[in-house]
Amino acid sequence: MKRTLIFSSVVAALGGLLFGFDTAVISGTTDWLSNVFDLSSFELGFTVSSALIGTIIGALFIGPLSDRYGRRAVLFILAVFYFISALGSGLAWSWSSFLFFRLLGGIGVGGASVVSPMYIAEISPAKFRGRLVAVAQLNIVFGMLLAYGSNYFISSLNLGEIEWRWMFAVEAVPAGLFFFFLFFTPRSPRWLIAKNFVDEARQVLNSCGTDSGDINKEINDIQISLEFEQQTKKEPLFTKKYKIPIMLAIAIAVFNQLSGINAVLYYAPHIFNMAGFGKSTALFNSIGIGGIFLIFTIAAMAVIDKMGRKKVMIIGSIGYIISLSAIAWAFFANPNDFSKQGSIVVLTGILVFVASHAFGQGSVIWVYLSEIFPNKVRGRGQSLGTTTHWIMNAVIAWTFPLIANISGGYTFAFFSLCMVVQLLWVLFIMPETKGISLENMQKKLGID
């Protein structure tokens, strides 16, 4: 594996790290934001979801921009968005200004979720592509862990009312490094060929490597692929023959968020406070969430192609149901003041819940979305699933504080019930995609 390829992949993966950091960092600031801006539960939910609204915008519109101006050029823009969002959120002078800067960061997150893995895939030879794209996915989880650790460290400094500002502002450091290192990465060879910069594309392929070792053959294969894409752009997605993959994509994306995973990730310290943990302990427990997420994501990547998507989803769904039910029981059994036993049940339940997600839904959804659509509409099909995921994410993040303030028990009981429905969906409806070619998958799903 060539050094240019490794370096460029690692740099692009910083977009994933910032993605994870930006989405998780707000978890340590929710109490401060409520006090500083005098927010109701409804307004706090909107504040957290403001970045997710930006994420939807970024995911929807960044693709065409990357086609027009190039993957690397868009990564530069996203790095600037991250940098401005970090400093702006830390220096926010009003609630409305804070919402604007978080929205800007959300656009960066949505854009990075599309462009970072796309760029890595396009500079990588096929034999290394899976592992290198996985680096971007792992970096998202590592970014979350970094955010939880950063929040805990800043909290330990006892900075008082400016504590939350530093939690956001510190993201400017990796954002600045991301921007700087992009200058030393090449442009995507696939995009260069699409824009007729063939000589530059040849240089990039020479420095990053090819599948066959024949650069001219690689260029010819890319040109043929681009011609095929142009021919298939007219194929409509929303037709009867694509009904099954569309329904599967929407279902897996909706269930992903009805588990409550992002409510836990965004409000982890708040949930631990509700369960009787002190502020410092709550932030420290959040680091455990990030660590568990990372470990079980790696474990899932090791077995998903051997066990299959359905088995992994079944294990994850059972883990969801057990852990969420236990958390709901703890809140029902301790309605006013948590006992030590109740607090331990919540902590254990949250960690098992996160492990279940990282091993199950969290590892399957993006693989599954890339497998169930035929070549002609795969890009738009994945976009549909991704957009559904982010919309549901915003809805859950917005409504969670309001509902949780009414009853933590009913909130987690609702998530548990949704996961019972997901388990039934996996057992009786979700088709297995392991080891099935894309052509045979079309036949299995009844697509002509």
Task: Examine residue 100 and state whether it is found in any structural domain, yes or no.
Answer: yes
Q: Report the domain count for the chain.
A: 2
Same domain, 17 and 155: yes
For position 39, what pLDDT does the model report? 93
Using one digit for the tens of pLDDT, what is the confidence trace for 98-143? 999 999 999 998 888 888 888 887 888 877 766 776 677 788 888 9
CATH code: domain of residue 334: 1.20.1250.20
The count of other CB atoms within 10 Å of the CB of residue 69 is 14
Point out the domain boundary residue: 125, 159, 185: 185
Task: Specify the pTM.
Answer: 0.84
pLDDT of residue 2: 84
Tens digits of per-residue pLDDT, 229-277?
777 677 788 888 889 999 999 999 999 999 999 899 889 888 998 888 9
> What mean pLDDT is reported for the chain?
89
Same domain, 18 and 152: yes
- Let me know whether 251 and 179 are in one domain: no
In angstroms and rounded to an integer, the radius of gyration of the C-alpha atoms of the chain is: 22
52-74 tens-digit pLDDT: 888 888 888 887 888 889 989 99
- Who has greater pLDDT, 321 or 216? 321
Confidence at residue 132, expressed as pLDDT on a 0 to 100 scale: 78
> What pLDDT is stored for residue 214 in this prediction?
82
Percent of the chain with pLDDT over 90: 47
| pLDDT bracket for residue 183 (50, 70, 90) | very high
Last residue of some domain: 125, 154, 185?
A: 185
Judge whether 207 lies within some domain.
Answer: no
User: What percent of the chain clears pLDDT 70, i.e. is strictly above it?
Assistant: 97
Does residue 228 have a pLDDT over 80?
A: no
Q: Residue 122 has what pLDDT? A: 84
pLDDT exceeds 70 at position 89: yes
> Would you say residue 221 lies in a domain?
no
pLDDT exceeds 80 at position 441: no
Of the pLDDT bands very low, low, confident and very high (cuts 50, 70, 90), residue 448 is low
One domain for residues 250 and 127:
no
* Residue 440 in this model has a pLDDT that exceeds 90: no
Same domain, 259 and 394: yes
pLDDT beyond 70 at 78 = yes
pLDDT greater than 70 at residue 438: no
- Do 176 and 273 sit in the same domain of this protein? no
- The phi and psi torsions of 374 (rounded to 5 degrees) equal -65, 165
Residue 417 sits in the same domain as residue 329: yes
Does any domain span residue 199? no
As a whole number, mean pLDDT of residues 395-424 equals: 92
Do 172 and 244 share a domain, yes or no? Answer: no
Instruction: Say yes or no: 34 and 161 in one domain.
Output: yes
- What does the alpha-carbon distance between residue 109 and residue 341 come to, in Å, rounded to a whole number? 38
Query: Among 143, 167, 185, where does a domain finish?
Result: 185
- The reply to whether 332 and 438 lie within a common domain is yes
Any domain includes 300 = yes
> Are residues 157 and 299 located together in one domain of the fold?
no
Which pLDDT band holds residue 8 (cuts at 50, 70, 90)?
Answer: very high
Predicted pLDDT of residue 439: 62
User: Do 151 and 269 fall into the same domain?
Assistant: no
For residue 146, give its domain range: 1-185
